[in-house]
Amino acid sequence: MESLLDLAQLNHLRTNLGWSQHDLAKKAGVSQSLIAKIETGKIDPSLSNARKIAKALAAETPTGAMVKQVMSRNVLSFPPETPVLEAINVMRKRGISQLPVIDKGVVVGRVTETSILEHVEELATATLHDVMSPPPPLVDKATLVNAIVPLLQAYNSVLVLDKGVVIGIVTKADVMGAALQHKL
């Protein structure tokens, strides 16, 4: 499972909000020493603590920001009959960890590094259909960022639609990047 936060960015996110480690710890319900150890890379938090920290940071997102303002517009996707090795090659070259599987304009699944690793013995002959997971959540471009934060805590991404057509993707990194650029 993908981390809920880019832990390398935690210090930057916290300081951009004007919070001390103590402030973030109090808002997240964790100890200040845990925040310090995460920021210095000494430990990785448990999933429950990462969720608490993500929720505390997400609570600062203004209510007016829409997903169309933070989404990545160039959505790379493949049809289900694509060989897995071809998709892996493109994913590595583009530095992405997931992609939607789209069949004739319909999102039918998603492929992540995790779903690929679960089928490592079959990769030489597998297609994306063989290794894909259910599709990520689909939301309209006017959906508020606050509304997708709980979805991003459960999924790696959310696909953005305009009149039923995929026009973008929002990942945890997109939301954090927008926060860093003060778009949120």
Q: Are residues 169 and 124 in the same domain?
A: yes
| pLDDT tens track for 110-121 | 999 999 999 999
What span, in angstroms and rounded, lies between the C-alpha atoms of 150 and 12?
A: 22
What span, in angstroms and rounded, lies between the C-alpha atoms of 51 and 29?
A: 11
The residues, ordered by sequence, that sit 6+ positions from 44 with a Cβ below 8 Å of its Cβ are 3, 7, 38
Is residue 128 within 8 A of residue 81, CB to CB? The reply is yes
Query: 178 vs 16, 124, 154, CA distance in Å?
Result: 12, 38, 20
3-state secondary structure labels for all residues of 42-78:
CCCCCHHHHHHHHHHHHCCCCCCCEHHHHCECCCCCE
pTM over 0.85: no
Q: Is position 82 within any domain?
A: yes
131-135, 149-153, 173-177: range with highest mean pLDDT: 131-135
CATH number for the domain including 18? 1.10.260.40
Q: Are residues 48 and 74 in the same domain?
A: no
Q: Are residues 109 and 140 in the same domain?
A: yes
| pLDDT tens track for 71-100 | 989 899 999 999 999 999 999 999 888 999
Q: Is position 124 within any domain?
A: yes
**Structural domain containing residue 50:** 7-58
Q: Is position 2 within any domain?
A: no
Tokens matching residue 109: 């699944």
CATH number for the domain including 121? 3.10.580.10
